[in-house]
């Protein structure tokens, strides 16, 4: 008796993704990672500002009060003629410093007792800055219209524009030297990529083509996400929907389109890297971190501690000054010591 054997069937191994599909997936992963890092930086910056404000609110309010009290004390001393000669000049200079720190009463007190107002002094400084800028630019500033400060700002804007134009020219030269990857990417611009990918997703996610109600519900949600991404002209978000749709990256997308998508993503990754670096640098500068120190939870917390300690020392200084200003002798001694 012959024994029959049933041939065993095995599932065919999944086809390995093509080089273009792998490149596309790598660029997409890089873009997603950078986007998440930028969002994390934004959250870190918001948390830093909120914590900084909460930590320093009371001290800054007390410092404003101390500044105003000091301005009042100096006003009384100048009216009573407690101060003369160098001490009077020192008191006026001190009122100018308080005004520059945002103490409006100090500016009013200064201008009541000084021969030259703070506004006039600022104009003189603006003229000095203008002269330095003219020397640097090797050309005179426009003398018609506006204040000296406005002319200075206009000149600086022109100088910045010239610098931006030079950088743009250098970037354009680098772009012209790009290799065949760029030339291939030019065959499919971003708008064409958006339209093609959206149409592909709309076809794959159409609810009438999915009998399973659970899968249809999931695809309906993905289609809503794709619609929103298309409205925003967000190619990266559309590609993320595409990635979730199929087990294999970019399933159903032609190789030529994959190559173009990958190049578009490569450009997006470069933009995101620059954006991340700019956000990181801006946050580090805002927190007063030393050059080369990155902004993270630890370095920002340390910066807040140092700033709070400095603020507390400044507050103590002005509170002592206010207490010294209550008598002519102590005020005169304090002004002399602070001048030294």
Q: 193 in a domain, yes or no?
A: yes
Q: 195 in a domain, yes or no?
A: yes
Summarize pLDDT for 120-150 with one digit per residue, the tens: 988 888 888 778 777 776 667 665 555 555 6
Q: 160 in a domain, yes or no?
A: no
| The model's pTM | 0.66
Measured CA to CA, the distance from residue 18 to residue 25 in angstroms comes to: 11
Q: 202 in a domain, yes or no?
A: yes
Containing domain of residue 282, as a range?
189-295
Q: Which residues of the chain have pLDDT under 70?
A: 1-16, 137-139, 141-156, 159, 174-191, 246-254, 256, 340
Closest CA to 200 of 225, 224, 226, 221: 226
Summarize pLDDT for 238-285 with one digit per residue, the tens: 888 877 775 444 455 567 677 777 877 888 899 899 999 999 999 999
Distance of CA 158 to the CA centre of its chain: 23
pLDDT (0 to 100) of residue 174: 67
The count of domains in the chain is 1
Q: Where are the alpha helices (DSSP H) in the chain?
A: 19-79, 86-100, 104-113, 118-137, 148-176, 180-185, 190-204, 213-231, 235-245, 255-287, 297-324, 328-339
């Amino acid at each position: 008796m012959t024994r029959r054997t049933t041939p065993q069937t095995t599932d065919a191994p999944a086809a390995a993704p093509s080089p273009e599909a792998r490149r596309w997936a790598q660029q997409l992963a890089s873009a997603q990672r950078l986007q998440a890092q930028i969002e994390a930086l934004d959250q870190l910056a918001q948390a830093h500002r909120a914590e900084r404000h909460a930590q320093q609110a009371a001290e800054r309010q007390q410092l404003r009060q101390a500044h105003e009290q000091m301005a009042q004390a100096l006003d009384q001393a100048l009216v009573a003629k407690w101060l003369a000669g160098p001490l009077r000049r020192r008191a006026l200079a001190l009122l100018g410093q308080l005004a520059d720190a945002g103490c409006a009463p100090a500016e009013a007190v200064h201008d009541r007792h000084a021969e030259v107002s703070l506004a006039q002094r600022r104009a003189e400084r603006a003229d000095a800055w203008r002269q330095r800028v003219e020397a640097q630019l090797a050309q005179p500033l426009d003398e018609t219209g506006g204040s000296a400060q406005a002319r200075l700002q206009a000149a600086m804007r022109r100088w910045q524009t010239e610098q931006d134009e030079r950088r743009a020219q250098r970037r354009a030269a680098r772009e012209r030297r790009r290799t065949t990857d760029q030339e291939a990417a030019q065959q499919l611009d971003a708008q064409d990529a958006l339209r093609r990918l959206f149409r592909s997703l709309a076809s794959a996610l159409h609810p009438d083509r999915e009998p399973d109600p659970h899968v249809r519900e999931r695809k309906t949600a993905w289609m809503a996400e794709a619609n929103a991404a298309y409205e925003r002209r967000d190619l990266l978000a559309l590609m993320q929907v595409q990635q979730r749709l199929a087990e294999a990256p970019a399933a159903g997308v032609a190789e030529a389109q994959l190559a173009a998508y990958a190049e578009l993503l490569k450009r997006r990754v470069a933009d995101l890297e620059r954006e991340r670096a700019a956000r990181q640098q801006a946050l580090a500068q805002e927190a007063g971190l030393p050059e080369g120190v990155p902004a993270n939870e630890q370095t920002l917390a340390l910066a807040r501690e140092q700033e709070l300690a400095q603020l507390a020392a400044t507050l103590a200084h002005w509170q002592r000054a206010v207490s010294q200003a209550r008598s002519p002798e102590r005020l005169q001694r304090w002004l002399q010591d602070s001048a030294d």
